[in-house]
Amino acid sequence: MRIAIFIYCLFSACFLEAQTYWKRTGDTVVVTPYPVPKNVQNTDWKSSWEADFQKRANYVIAHSSKDGRYGNTWFENEKRSYGWAMISILAGYEQNALKFLQEKDAAAERWNKHTLGIDYYPCFTLKHQIRKLFYFGHLLAPEYRATMIKAAKIFTEKDPLRRPHYAYTGKGVWDPEGKNSWVDVRSTDNLKLMRESSVYLLAELSGNESVRKLYLERIRQYVVGLYYVGMGEWDSENYLGHSIVPLLNLYDFAKDSEAKLLAKAGLDFMATCCALKYYRGVFGGPTCRDYNHPYAFGGSAATAGWLWFGGTNQLPEEFESDEVHFITSGYRPPAAVVELAQRRFKSDLEVISSKPQWQPWDKQDGLEAKYRETLYFGNKFQLGTLQRGTQAPDINGFKLLAAANDGTAQTVIAAPCADPTKIGSPMYQDGLLAPNSAVGQNKNMAIYLTQESKLPYLWLIPKSATTTQKGHVTFISLDHVTLAIWPLNASLATEDAALSKQAQFKEKKDGSQQELWPHTKVLKSTRKGKGVYGFVVEVNEGNREAFMKAASKLQPEVDELAKRGAAAMTTVQGNRIRLQWGNTSQAIHAWRNGNELDWTGSDNMLFKSLNSDVISMPWNDNGLLEIETASQQFHIQVSRDGKVTFK
């Protein structure tokens, strides 16, 4: 046994560096970025940004570390427990944290006998196993470390995906008993990346070249897909951070230069997406897989944005446990992406973006965009909409973020929806959302129309907001901006006490109430006549009283609403939008100041700045992402065969 341990430790020494990259001085921890070659670094990351990043990292370490009670290891519960244990090592709780990380897995005999009791099955567990072995591995007991490495060699001797599993019964769900595989088969973007980066790294460590090359090709195909047709699980408030982490692992620990560059390309793309939607600790919209977080630091994307970009004097109270990967990684975003997140560009920026269908990476040829996004940046707010509004099963299509006095951002979400707690997206539940909406946006204003339905329009707004009705307009006064809402074939949006209570408190099984979103309230607007119904909204950050006076004198143009489902409006600031409702993307038309958006032609871009050169990326063309902010430029390109170049 001792000889075997010695051989495996000697073998692993060629791949794993026995070095500590953090240092504690009193209550302060300095984590040195994990060393990666200069040719894959974004070397324009500033020292002042690094100092601020280290302060945020120290806050996370201090507030999420503990000396024990990390959780358990059943199935994928390591998605939390291993992260807590690893970050606790940084805080100085090595003994109990390392003891937990080396405990016998809960399913060691049931599912993991073939990998010597080491759990390499669930994707969420795999991503943590990688950092445990490659970053903290030198602290593990030699016997345990050797077992992990030997198990990795067994695990990757053949492709573990769909490799028949001895525990298969056909009665399980996502576990080996139900899926008959050596590794998790789920393939949302975040889970696919966890699986493929982890199997790649374990195969590279073990010297199993055929499997390494197979997974390198899968990673290449995915990253090429990002640069030509985008991300299937695009901008997910809940999952974007979880997609970033496996690429951090690949970027840090891959020995192959091509794998490292592909990881960097994936990270630069996702950091750009994060920078566009992240604002003052809150994640904006639209989003795919929006899990309803109308507050600061909700979901993994906002936490990732805060760690990289800061942007608020407020601090999060809860963490995902993925933070340990960001803190210990060598990756830092390009300077132009940081300035994008800091809004260091001329305000009045409008960006349109095309988004793909689910799992686009293996069907890029001739792929058409499925979702059309408009995102507008004012001085103190950003408004984002989708051409078809909020959609089933889990798509957020209307979200406003506005600067708040507390240093974060206030959130306003609207949708034709039955449940205010599912207003961001219905989260796979039928009957909560009216079908077939259409949205036209022109900078700071939008028209939202929906097919005839019994469902009301709901507005989730801050509890601190003041609402005022003047004639046919509802005004919402936030800390720094004012919204004017004109109903279309609908009643004025007014506060609904019962719906507000539903959003603020959740009833528990024992009948008691638990706070849900106590900082919110709900406005309701119901359809008045037959046909399509909806609203016009304008957002103003100028003088409140002057805006309300001017807006109350305006009315939408609704002559064609009942017959053709068309409405138009010229707002206080002079922007004009005309929207033709349709029950398909092809039937929806929007004219902005007289010019129609050409979503199938020149306006069909992964990213396109309508009035500047801030960001550009063509749809399914040359794989080139270009960003130009106040003082920075960044270009990165991925060729069809996966070659990565950047400057």
pLDDT digits (tens, 9 = 90+) for 431-448: 999 999 999 999 999 999
- Three-state SS at 38: helix
Block residue for tokens 């109350």: 552
Closest CA to 194 of 146, 131, 268: 131
Q: Which two tokens stand for residue 74?
A: 């059943």
> Is residue 271 very low, low, confident or very high in pLDDT (cuts 50, 70, 90)?
very high
Q: Residue 109 phi/psi, 5° resolution?
A: -90, -30
Rg for the chain, CA atoms, rounded: 25
Contact predicate 514/508, CB 8 Å = yes
How many Å apart are CA 406 and CA 313, to the nearest integer?
A: 8
Mean pLDDT for 558-585 is 96
Query: How confident is the model at residue 6, as a pLDDT?
Result: 45
Angle at 412 between CA 612 and CA 495, to 5 degrees: 145
pLDDT digits (tens, 9 = 90+) for 24-72: 999 899 999 999 999 999 999 999 999 999 999 999 999 999 999 999 9
- The mean predicted confidence, pLDDT, of the chain is 95
Query: How confident is the model at residue 631, as a pLDDT?
Result: 95
Amino acid, res. 288: C
> Is residue 9 very low, low, confident or very high in pLDDT (cuts 50, 70, 90)?
very low
Query: How confident is the model at residue 265, as a pLDDT?
Result: 98
Angle at 392 between CA 595 and CA 282, to 5 degrees: 75
How many Å apart are CA 642 and CA 217, to the nearest integer?
A: 9
Closest CA to 198 of 256, 257, 259, 249: 249
β-pairing, 615-618 vs 395-396, is: unpaired
> Is residue 17 very low, low, confident or very high in pLDDT (cuts 50, 70, 90)?
low
Amino acid, res. 549: K
Task: Report whether pLDDT(3) > 60.
Answer: no
Contact predicate 621/631, CB 8 Å = no
How many Å apart are CA 404 and CA 227, to the nearest integer?
A: 35
Query: How confident is the model at residue 509, as a pLDDT?
Result: 83
Mean pLDDT for 409-414 is 98
Angle at 64 between CA 59 and CA 66, to 5 degrees: 125
Mean pLDDT for 156-176 is 97
pLDDT digits (tens, 9 = 90+) for 278-298: 999 999 999 999 999 999 999
pLDDT digits (tens, 9 = 90+) for 589-646: 999 999 999 998 889 999 999 989 999 999 999 999 999 999 999 999 999 999 999 9
Closest CA to 450 of 466, 460, 470, 436: 436
pLDDT digits (tens, 9 = 90+) for 525-562: 999 999 999 999 999 999 999 999 999 999 999 999 99
Report the half-sphere exposure of 376 (CA within 13 A, side-chain side): 19
How many Å apart are CA 217 and CA 62, to the nearest integer?
A: 40
Closest CA to 184 of 176, 116, 312, 470: 176
